[in-house]
Chain A
Amino acid sequence: MTTQTTPTTRAVVLPSGVVPAGTPERPRRQRGSRLLIWVFLAPTLIGLGLFSFVPIIGSFVLAFFRWDIISAPEFIGVGNFVDLAANPTVRVSFLNTIGFVVVAVTVQLAVALLLAILVQSRMPEWLRTFFRSALFFPLVLSAASVSLVMAYLFNQEFGLVNEFLGLFGVGNIGWLTTGFGAKVVVLLVYVWQNFGFTFLLFIGGLAAIPREVYEASSLDGAHGWSQFRNVTLPLVSPTMLVASVMAIISALQIFDQPYVLTRGGPGDETRTAVMVIYESAFQQLDFGLASAIGIVLTLLIMLVTAAQFQLSKRFVFYG
């Protein structure tokens, strides 16, 4: 969702009004343009160099040092990586993060695809606009504020959720005070806010399927489930790939929701990888360990993305 995590692919669909550069690019060297080129590039090149490239290298180097910011950094080789593998909190956080990603992304993709198919089906235009806008609205809110609101809704004593469940005779659930409850809430709050993005992607993907394909398959007797299974799913699979890559990358970086809702608790039940980076660096002043965890997270992101593109060769249908 953040601009930082947007993977770029070579095939690009542009905002309406933008024509892809299908026509051969015709760059011209205009008189006096040399100065313009470098003046225009300077802010971006210097800025990204300083605030992206240097930190990426810095992170990598720092991962091999012990440094508490006060005393001089000390080279310890792979010491930080050995530490993080042995550290139970780090291990639990990574397991939490991976478990969270698997469930959250599955739910997010399924819910988003179902709702996108329903919204794109036959209905009055005003109703379609209403549903589309309503479902996408949480995206413009801040994850921190949303989590504040949800913390009240899921409060054990006076939260609306328990009050509502009480109507059906469900006893008081300690949503934020039990490990399982806290995990469920973090997951629900995250998916609640983020499924709208996946939903938008699927709407785009579904809109690109030609109407004739459905008509032809209907004539051949395909309806309902068989149409979904044999027509919609294969044709929407390229979108599915992009949506899942983006959803996984973004879910691997979850921080705001568990930080505000549970501070990682109870115990370490909802602690995530990025929370441990934050805590190691800015609470325990172990900047080397924090960098090492960051490197592992980056590698995890790259590995998952590469694996998805490999798998997609078998499952994604490019008509």
Chain B
Amino acid sequence: MSTAATEVRPPRGRLAAAGKYTVLGVAALLTLAPVVWTLITALTPSNIDTNETEFGLGAFADVFNQIPILLYTWNSALVTLLIAAGQMLTAAMAGYVFARFDFTGKRILFGAILATMMVPMQVTIVPVFMLIRGMGLADTLLALIVPMIPTAFGTFLMRQYFMGLPPELAEAAQIDGAGPWKIFFGVYLPLATPGLAIVGILAFNYHWNEFFRPLILTISEQNFTLPLGLVTLQGNLGTGSVATVLAGVILSMIPAALVFVFGQKPLREGLTAGISK
């Protein structure tokens, strides 16, 4: 592959290569340009008096002045991290049981768990909303967190992961006198870290960006998450202060960008996991 550059190609091949890079280049430009434009616009707010744009962090300061963005960030972080942690733990436990034990009703239970993935969340949101109200959790952050902790997809992923680990490890630990709890927490759970990372990063990516559920399940502004808070900010400002809204968007993108930089591999693997060849 690396020899491609030294190869002498016929003109037709060179033309094809030029076409290929043009198409890919335009696609990459169209993908990145809106993000770059957002950053530039956020950094060049227009002065109200002179109506001239000037470079500066003024728009970012405005975000902090005009909406409780620290509160929204805190809410988003709390919701996202607790869901991610909760999913990692419950999925690891359930996945482990489905991978390593035999018991009556195992197949039916696992099938039932997978079946819950078929019905979209938007369809069940009305009964979920009522359940939440009935539990006295209406308009709390717990309403966003609790229903999302049990995860069918995460359980499936962790089951596959534990099935890939050698069963002999349990036998060896058993001979050393370890009980079933010790075998899970001491032997298998540490080995499943890459699988847990996938479950955690998928949960983070999905719930950090989530809009539909917070829109329905939270009412007071003090419980808003970032995406909801930003849409509200835009609604309040109208189209008047573009830079301020975009500064908020940039701030909300930071954690997602960090995940992209540091967790791209598990994210890619997680997104495409469970897909047939």
Contacts and interface: CB of A to CB of B under 8 A. Distances in A.
Nearest to B239: A155
- Interface secondary structure of B, over-half rule: helix
Interface residues of A, number: 121
B117 A6 contact: yes
B172 interface: no
A55 B28 CA distance: 42
A12 B216 contact: no
Interface in B199-244: 202-203, 205-206, 208-212, 215-216, 226-228, 230-231, 234, 239, 242
A283 to B, nearest CB: 11
A253 B101 contact: no
Contact of B155 (A39, A44, A114): A44
Nearest to A46: B150
Interface in A15-43: 15-21, 25-34, 36-37, 39-41, 43
Contacts of A136: 264, 268
A59 B274 contact: no
Contacts of B127: 54-56, 58-59, 62, 291
Contact of A160 (B37, B184, B274): B37
A121 interface: yes
A259 B170 CA distance: 52
A85 B24 CA distance: 45
B59 interface: no
A253 B210 CA distance: 14
A12 B24 contact: no
A62 B130 CA distance: 11
A145 B102 CA distance: 46
Nearest to A33: B180
A145 B239 contact: no
Given A149-B249, A153-B34, A141 B101 contact: no
19 contacts: A14-B273, A15-B198, A18-B195, A28-B100, A52-B124, A55-B125, A115-B24, A134-B32, A135-B31, A142-B252, A146-B34, A152-B239, A153-B37, A155-B239, A255-B211, A277-B122, A291-B126, A294-B122, A294-B126
Interface of A: 1-21, 25-34, 36-37, 39-41, 43-48, 50-56, 58-59, 62, 69, 111, 114-115, 118-119, 121-125, 130-131, 133-146, 148-153, 155, 158, 160, 192, 196-197, 200-201, 204-205, 208, 238-239, 242, 246, 249, 252-253, 255-256, 259-260, 274, 277-278, 281-282, 287, 290-291, 294-295, 297-298, 301-302
Closest 3 CB pairs of A and B: A47-B150, A58-B127, A142-B209
Given A30-B170, A41-B93, A118-B23, 6 more contacts: A27-B100, A62-B126, A124-B2, A144-B228, A149-B37, A260-B211
Interface of B: 1-2, 4-5, 20-21, 23-24, 27-28, 30-32, 34-35, 37-38, 41, 89-91, 93-94, 96-97, 99-103, 109, 112-114, 116-131, 146-147, 149-156, 160-161, 163-164, 167, 170-171, 174, 179-181, 183-184, 194-195, 198, 202-203, 205-206, 208-212, 215-216, 226-228, 230-231, 234, 239, 242, 245-246, 249, 252-253, 256-257, 259-260, 264, 266-277
